[in-house]
Amino acid sequence: MDNYFEYSPLEIEARIINDFKKKYFNKVNVYSFIAISAYAWTENLVNGLINILKPIFNGKIILGGYEITALNDDKLYKTYPNADYYVKGYSEKSLEKLFKNESKNRILNEKINENDLISVYLSGIIPLTTESIYWESKRGCSFHCDFCEWGNAASNKVIRLNEDRIDDEINLFKQNKIKKINILDANFILNDHDIVILEKLLEIQDCIFNFQVNFNILKNKLLDKFVSICKNNRNRLFLELGLQTIHKEEMEILKRNNDIEHIKYILQIFNNQNINYEISIIFGIPGQTFETFQNTIRFLEENGCKKYTAYPLRLPQNSIMKKEASKLKIKEDYSKFDSYPIKFVTESYSFDRLEWEMMYSIANKSKILIPYEFVSIMKKVTENYITKDMDKYSLLNEVEENELSDIIYEKLCKNDISNNLLLGTGADKYYIAINRILSIKSMRELCIREKKYTRIFTNLIIDFIKKTQQHILNVENTFINENQNLSADLLSQKKLEWELEIIDKECKAFCEELYMKIEQKQNMEVDFTSPNKR
Ligand code: SF4
């Protein structure tokens, strides 16, 4: 899989589907079922795979995973209309029912117990052919943090795996000289029993372990025992802990209570003992501001944390925040800075889009994107531009077109994929689309190899924008007629959303076509002048 990650998400999707076709198309009918795990960010890929499989596969397609669990039945059918079955929650029992042809329902949600959790290693389902593996000692989480898919899928219940099974697995790992175990448990150390498991795991020679622990659980004697093990195995244990925020108001929204004094105490011990740990925090929490986010970072730095990662808040489908989105004034949108097809909370009652981008900027220290000392100036520019642009139907005038064309051309020449703001170029609504197109690695490589393509691609991108805008203008009357009962404010908001949806759809089609042509170019000369001929 690693070879996919150097590409943009759109290219990854196209490549995976292409590779799947090449490798498995003539083999799929050996199987009666194909089960696919779905996440929010894999919707296009999963639907793409189902669409190519459906016409040729004689068996049944099953979907499962967090996203399937989180979507209500109506949304599930709408989002993934072509699957045969949908498994919510843990899949062991549901899959068994399907394989035995014992289910009359398309949506299954079977509860499991400890005996249903078969070891994939002891059973040989996953052969131990690598030195690094994923493993679990328990399923589920007793907490219910509102931002977390785990908490929502697990229904607050923790299922511990049978002790004999764990012992047998550890012996198998010893025999197979496993060198790295990534423990999947939501919280690995819950009590003394887990301390015993950790001690047994450490008997696997030269093996290192990554796992998550929880500040709230590590207390008193459990903390002492755990620290003593960590101290003696410094170079073998790598801990991950979630802090998310130090602020009460934000904790309440996240449904996560942090005892800050206790956290300071644990950090002090970890630092004194040179224990390896990493902490995660979140930005974009309703109630947060740029300043409070900075305070959370400052807290970590002042308390000696050397490694932390800040993640943008994304709302799980069935979270309380999602239900209260309008009360919290939440807006979800794509990031301008990543081309992942996933929406984050980019506005709420306590911060606006620009402030979110500033948080993004300090969260990604390596790619400072916004000179936040100029925030007030930028805010003015944004406000002026948006108000000015609201009633404008034509998109690019000649000056804007030339300006935008220069920016794109220069980016392609310099192989620059940093995400500059395009405000004022007349292409604000196309921001995500343009960045998505510019992130196509194979296109950039071609421009570096053969200069002539830089101008060709620039023209194609400008052409894509103009044609898409023309398309929007052509169907606009129908949209307005269908929504004529709305107030002016609501109409302009709805219209913007409608336009963005069209742009997104057209961009995907454009990228797919361009991507295919570049692929073909590897073998023969191809006429690039005709993508986007919709
Ligand atoms: S964030 Fe951690 S503790 Fe909270 S619900 Fe998710 S897995 Fe459990």
Say what the alpha-carbon torsion angle 160, 161, 162, 167 is, to the nearest 10 degrees: -120
Ligand 1 atom closest to 149 (CA): 6
Mean pLDDT over all residues of the chain?
85
Q: Is 63 in the pocket of ligand 1 (CB under 6 A)?
A: no
Ligand 1 centroid to Cα of residue 264, in Å, is 20
Q: Is the pTM of this model over 0.95?
A: no
Q: Is 186 in the pocket of ligand 1 (CB under 6 A)?
A: yes
Q: Which residue's CA lies nearest to atom 7 of ligand 1?
A: 186
pLDDT higher than 80, residue 239: yes
Number of H helices, E strands in the chain: 20, 14
CA distance 184 to 175: 21
Ligand 1 atom closest to 144 (CA): 5
Q: Is 242 in the pocket of ligand 1 (CB under 6 A)?
A: yes
Residue of 139, 143, 256 best suited for mutating to test ligand 1, as the one with most atoms within 8 Å of CB: 143
Delimiting residues of CATH 3.40.50.280 domain(s) in the chain:
2-112
Give the pLDDT confidence of 57-98 residue by residue, as tens digits. Answer: 999 999 999 889 988 899 999 999 999 999 998 999 999 999
Ligand 1 atom closest to 141 (CA): 8
Q: Is 145 in the pocket of ligand 1 (CB under 6 A)?
A: yes
Q: Which residue's CA lies nearest to atom 2 of ligand 1?
A: 186
For residues 58 and 419, which has the higher predicted lDDT (pLDDT)?
58
Give the pLDDT confidence of 144-169 residue by residue, as tens digits. Answer: 899 887 665 556 688 999 999 999 99
CA-based torsion, 10, 12, 18, 24: positive or negative: negative
Phi, psi of 311 (to 5 degrees): -110, 145
Give the pLDDT confidence of 176-211 residue by residue, as tens digits. Answer: 999 999 999 999 999 999 999 999 999 999 999 999
Domain 2-112: CATH architecture, name and number where available? 3-Layer(aba) Sandwich (3.40)
Q: Is 438 in the pocket of ligand 1 (CB under 6 A)?
A: no
Q: How confident is the model at residue 21 (pLDDT cuts 50, 70, 90)?
A: confident
Q: Which residue has the tokens 């239900």?
A: 323
For residues 422 and 385, which has the higher predicted lDDT (pLDDT)?
422
Q: How confident is the model at residue 391 (pLDDT cuts 50, 70, 90)?
A: very low
Delimiting residues of CATH 3.80.30.20 domain(s) in the chain:
132-366
Burial of 16 (0-12, 13-18, 19+ CB in 10 A): middle
Give the pLDDT confidence of 323-352 residue by residue, as tens digits. Answer: 999 999 999 988 877 666 688 999 999 998
Q: Is 151 in the pocket of ligand 1 (CB under 6 A)?
A: yes
Q: State the pLDDT at residue 522.
A: 61
For residues 520 and 471, which has the higher predicted lDDT (pLDDT)?
471
Ligand 1 atom closest to 152 (CA): 5
For residues 38 and 516, which has the higher predicted lDDT (pLDDT)?
38
Q: Is 251 in the pocket of ligand 1 (CB under 6 A)?
A: no
Q: What share of the chain is helix, strand, coil (3-state, %, to 5)?
A: 50, 10, 35
Q: Is 201 in the pocket of ligand 1 (CB under 6 A)?
A: no
For residues 318 and 133, which has the higher predicted lDDT (pLDDT)?
133
Ligand 1 atom closest to 148 (CA): 6
Provide the angle, in degrees to the nearest 10, between the axes of the packed helices 452-482 and 431-438: 150
pLDDT higher than 50, residue 367: no
Ligand 1 centroid to Cα of residue 332, in Å, is 22
Task: Assess if CATH 3.40.1670.10 describes domain 132-366.
Answer: no
CA distance 373 to 290: 13
Ligand 1 centroid to Cα of residue 456, in Å, is 49
